[in-house]
Structure 1
Amino acid sequence: MRRPAPRSSPPLARVPGFRPLLAMSALGFSGYALLLPSVPLWAVRGGAGEGGAGLVNAVLMLATVLTQTTVPWLLRRVGWRPTMVAGVVLLGVPSLLLMASDQLSWVLALSAVRGTGFAVLTVCGSSAVAALVDGPRHGRAIGLYGLSIAFPQLVLVPGAAWVAETLDFRVVFALGALPVLAVPFAALLGRRLDAAASAARAHDAGLDDRSDAGAGAGPGAAGTLLALVLPSLVLLAVTTPGGALLTFAPQFAGGTSAAVAGLLGFTAATALARWGVGGLADRHGPRVFLAPLLVVCAGGLTVCAVAIADGGARPVLLVLGMTSVGVAYGSLQNLTLVAAFAAVPARHHPTASAVWNIGFDAGTGLGSLVVGFVAAGTSFAVGLLTTAVVCVVVVVVVLLARPRTGGAATAAGTG
């Protein structure tokens, strides 16, 4: 059980650096949210089929995952400020370049560039939460940070496809450059985190001078990665269907109004669940909630599959199913990140953040790719049922896995 936050802790909004983090994240994810459902439709307009449309976000996430493996190294070698500034620029500028062509090759190339910037934003954002806030409040801090990410998706994902098809794709692409406006916030936050990192290195150097015992303390790289396997697996299981719903809802919903309603239910549930579960994670720990929420996700996916079976669309069932998946999707984002930070010492939090984000974005990309190709050969209903089976398999893994408690105490006492 995680201990309660000290009474003297300032409100999260007043923690130095936390507001720039929220502003950078909100602007960055606004651009991401606008383009996630609309760029595949742009590729379809250019002649791509269902498989090609699925490749758009799959390439985005592949580039994201590959870059995420390098971000902890970049933070050590280059520093927070230049890394984050470059990240939001790479995420925002390609949105404007999408106006030049709707051909699949051009769209995929720009998706890869966007994925590079998105990797920086995601790893740095969640790492910054752990760096700015004490360990016993990680659940609530991640919840508030998650709200800054989820709120743009709540507002923009359901409307992006409608704006693109009703008004013009170029309106969406112009707004998709919003991450560029996050440059000053990234610079401000980066300056603070670079100063904190320098102070921490000086402190660690002083400890090493006094004692050699601490130099090799804690798990090595292999031990750190092993501690992160379970939360990453759970995250992968829930983000795979989440990525499929975000990518393909406009195509299988059977109408614009049904797609908007389904995505609104999904994103609203995601935002509220990710924010609301934070206090529970701080009080009870995250592990107890993992298996039940995976079951909720599998059940919601089954309802979605029934709603779109036989090429039809049953809007009420679809909204119910997507909202249920959103509850699991949002909650497990928070819980698995809390579990990842608790599993390793504070100095490995950037690695934990990178691994967590790789699981998140790999799942989103797999959902786009796998469900797209399954749908091309069978139907979207079969694709969603496939991801539901994955959730059930991971439930069994969670129930059989032994809890790892070695890093929790270390993480809980940091900050």
Structure 2
Amino acid sequence: MDSVADTKVWWLAYDFTAMGEADRNAEQGQSGARREVSSGPVWTAPGMPALLVMTAFGFSGHALLFPTVPLWVVTTGGNAAGAGAVNALLMLCTVLTQVLVPFALRRIGWNITWKLGMVFLGVPSLLHLLPLSFAGALALAVPRGFGFGVLTVCGAIAVAELVHPARRGKAIGAYGLAIAAPQAILIPAAPWVADNIGFALVFVAGACPLIGWFLAGPVARHVTSTSREADDRTTHGTRRRVRIPIQMFGPMLILLAVTAAGGALLTFTPQMTPNPTLVFTSLLTFTVISALSRWLIGAFADRYGTRLFVTPLIGLTAAGLSLIAWAVQGSGALQSAGLIVGMAIVGISYGALQNLTLLDTFAAAGRKRYGMASAVWNIGFDAGTGIGALLIGIVAAQATFSVAMLAAALLSILTLPLAVASARRRRQ
């Protein structure tokens, strides 16, 4: 992977401050055995069990609130644009935080950074129990974004560091399953519970990231990514430039397009159909299939690489969104079936492309820039989710959800040249 440094590329500059010599030496002493290839399951590698459980709790809280807060906005008198604005602000704050997480890891360490992230992610859910206006819901999206930014970047760095590169596809698949499995259950369940039992139960359950606070220490003890990034810095606190290869932006933009589609579906499916059973079934289909797809594609990527899969999956995204655009125009049995099938099709590409684009981003970055790669990938993921929530909401408010889904399909198609160019470059 380090051969990317020999390729003629464009570079962006990012300043990093060197980590202390003592901290780096202490972390390097832990890394030898972990990097050996093991024949055991990837989820039993040192640090992985705690990482996967912590990830599951963190994303459970996010999954419970992501469709519920927009539904609360609509229920209390808002419209689709307002509902989308909450999740768009959440994702904006997430992206801004992701840029700063590598700096926080060096300054205050893994343990404190991750614990703060769990607090920011969990406490705002309890504050939703207070009487709030639309402005209050927007305000609480800000700390949720801070916490989610910490969780996503730290998790992606950790999973790259805890296993040998030869098994990274499977490790990312296991990590993706820890993210997607809770979402598969909670994203469709949360709106149903809010509608049939009450929003309060969802908001109490949404504080579950606070449980992950207790797992931050065990994970932090095993993760040594900052020692690897120290090779790109001087050893006595001086600054030097860490170069960001342009090849990392192709996977990021492909990811951005598919997560824009996913963000739109997760945000607006409860508003696209008045049938709560159909909403539950559609979201359950989408989240379960995306979870399985993200997990299973890892083994194929380890064996065959990523280039065989990315382009067809982009086409699958556009096809599924087009089917959904047709389905939401009516309320008959055929349209209901079309919505579920369309959600399944998009779910396949949504899950698989997350795994594949993360692998491509790590490959482009090289082993010494895992923190940077994690930040860039997560920015693509969450910027796409926010763009999907905001723009699709605006289009739907001005036109219809059918037109909005076609706009999301067009955005996916526009990334096809990036996938073709990337596959051609890897063949050379």
TM-score in terms of structure 1 length: 0.89
Given that 2:54 and 2:215 are in contact with CA atoms closer than 8 Å, whether structure 1 keeps it comes out as yes
User: What amino acid is the match of 2:163?
Assistant: V
SS where residue 78 of structure 2 aligns? coil
Matched residue, 1:328: 349
The structural deviation recorded for 1:253 is: 2.3
Given that 1:101 and 1:107 are in contact with CA atoms closer than 8 Å, whether structure 2 keeps it comes out as no
Matched residue, 2:61: 31
Matched residue, 1:212: none
Query: For residues 269 and 294 of structure 1, what CA distance do their matches in structure 2 show?
Result: 16
Alpha-carbon displacement from aligned partner over 1:25-48 (angstroms, at most 9, x marks no partner): 000000001111100011123322
User: What amino acid is the match of 2:63?
Assistant: A
Q: Alignment partner for residue 324 of structure 2, among 304, 308, 317?
A: 304
Query: For residues 56 and 197 of structure 1, what CA distance do their matches in structure 2 show?
Result: 33
User: What amino acid is the match of 1:389?
Assistant: L
Matched residue, 1:233: 253
Matched residue, 1:393: 414
Given that 1:61 and 1:115 are in contact with CA atoms closer than 8 Å, whether structure 2 keeps it comes out as yes
Matched residue, 1:261: 281
Given that 2:162 and 2:222 are in contact with CA atoms closer than 8 Å, whether structure 1 keeps it comes out as no
Query: For residues 381 and 400 of structure 2, what CA distance do their matches in structure 1 show?
Result: 25
Q: Alignment partner for residue 100 of structure 1, among 130, 138, 142?
A: 130
Alpha-carbon displacement from aligned partner over 1:132-189 (angstroms, at most 9, x marks no partner): 1111111100000000000101110111001001001000000000000001111211
Query: For residues 358 and 143 of structure 2, what CA distance do their matches in structure 1 show?
Result: 26
Answering whether residue 99 of structure 2 is matched by residue 72 of structure 1, we say no
The structural deviation recorded for 1:401 is: 4.4
Given that 2:289 and 2:351 are in contact with CA atoms closer than 8 Å, whether structure 1 keeps it comes out as yes
Matched residue, 1:412: none
Matched residue, 2:141: 111
SS where residue 100 of structure 1 aligns? coil
The structural deviation recorded for 1:325 is: 0.2
Q: Alignment partner for residue 205 of structure 2, among 172, 175, 196?
A: 175
Single out whichever of 338-347 and 310-319 deviates more from structure 2: 310-319
Given that 1:47 and 1:103 are in contact with CA atoms closer than 8 Å, whether structure 2 keeps it comes out as no
Matched residue, 1:137: 167
Cα pair distance change 1:121/1:63, threshold 3 Å: same
Output aligned runs, 1:1-400, within 5 Å: 8-193=38-223, 196=224, 221-222=242-243, 224-309=244-329, 314-400=335-421
Query: For residues 371 and 193 of structure 2, what CA distance do their matches in structure 1 show?
Result: 37
SS where residue 309 of structure 1 aligns? coil
Given that 1:82 and 1:190 are in contact with CA atoms closer than 8 Å, whether structure 2 keeps it comes out as no
Given that 2:225 and 2:371 are in contact with CA atoms closer than 8 Å, whether structure 1 keeps it comes out as no
Query: For residues 208 and 26 of structure 1, what CA distance do their matches in structure 2 show?
Result: 36
Matched residue, 2:10: none
Given that 2:64 and 2:202 are in contact with CA atoms closer than 8 Å, whether structure 1 keeps it comes out as yes
Given that 2:119 and 2:209 are in contact with CA atoms closer than 8 Å, whether structure 1 keeps it comes out as yes
Alpha-carbon displacement from aligned partner over 1:321-348 (angstroms, at most 9, x marks no partner): 0010000000000000011111122121
Given that 2:58 and 2:212 are in contact with CA atoms closer than 8 Å, whether structure 1 keeps it comes out as yes
SS where residue 397 of structure 2 aligns? helix
Cα pair distance change 1:386/1:177, threshold 3 Å: same
User: What amino acid is the match of 2:153?
Assistant: V
The structural deviation recorded for 1:402 is: 6.3
Given that 1:34 and 1:176 are in contact with CA atoms closer than 8 Å, whether structure 2 keeps it comes out as yes
Query: For residues 309 and 271 of structure 1, what CA distance do their matches in structure 2 show?
Result: 28
SS where residue 70 of structure 1 aligns? helix
SS where residue 79 of structure 1 aligns? helix
Query: For residues 397 and 198 of structure 1, what CA distance do their matches in structure 2 show?
Result: 31
Matched residue, 1:413: none
Query: For residues 313 and 166 of structure 2, what CA distance do their matches in structure 1 show?
Result: 23
Query: For residues 247 and 130 of structure 2, what CA distance do their matches in structure 1 show?
Result: 45
User: What amino acid is the match of 1:271?
Assistant: A
Cα pair distance change 1:400/1:13, threshold 3 Å: closer
Cα pair distance change 1:192/1:259, threshold 3 Å: same
Given that 1:253 and 1:315 are in contact with CA atoms closer than 8 Å, whether structure 2 keeps it comes out as no
The structural deviation recorded for 1:375 is: 0.4
The structural deviation recorded for 1:190 is: 1.4
Given that 1:303 and 1:317 are in contact with CA atoms closer than 8 Å, whether structure 2 keeps it comes out as yes
Query: For residues 319 and 227 of structure 2, what CA distance do their matches in structure 1 show?
Result: 48
Given that 1:301 and 1:385 are in contact with CA atoms closer than 8 Å, whether structure 2 keeps it comes out as yes
Query: For residues 349 and 197 of structure 1, what CA distance do their matches in structure 2 show?
Result: 7
Structure 2: tracts of 5 or more residues without a match: 2-34
Single out whichever of 361-370 and 225-234 deviates more from structure 2: 225-234
User: What amino acid is the match of 1:239?
Assistant: T
Query: For residues 30 and 68 of structure 1, what CA distance do their matches in structure 2 show?
Result: 19
The structural deviation recorded for 1:101 is: 2.5
The structural deviation recorded for 1:13 is: 2.3
Given that 1:294 and 1:392 are in contact with CA atoms closer than 8 Å, whether structure 2 keeps it comes out as yes
Query: For residues 107 and 322 of structure 1, what CA distance do their matches in structure 2 show?
Result: 28
**Identity across the alignment (%):** 47
The structural deviation recorded for 1:237 is: 1.0
Cα pair distance change 1:201/1:306, threshold 3 Å: closer
Given that 1:96 and 1:176 are in contact with CA atoms closer than 8 Å, whether structure 2 keeps it comes out as yes
Given that 1:227 and 1:404 are in contact with CA atoms closer than 8 Å, whether structure 2 keeps it comes out as no
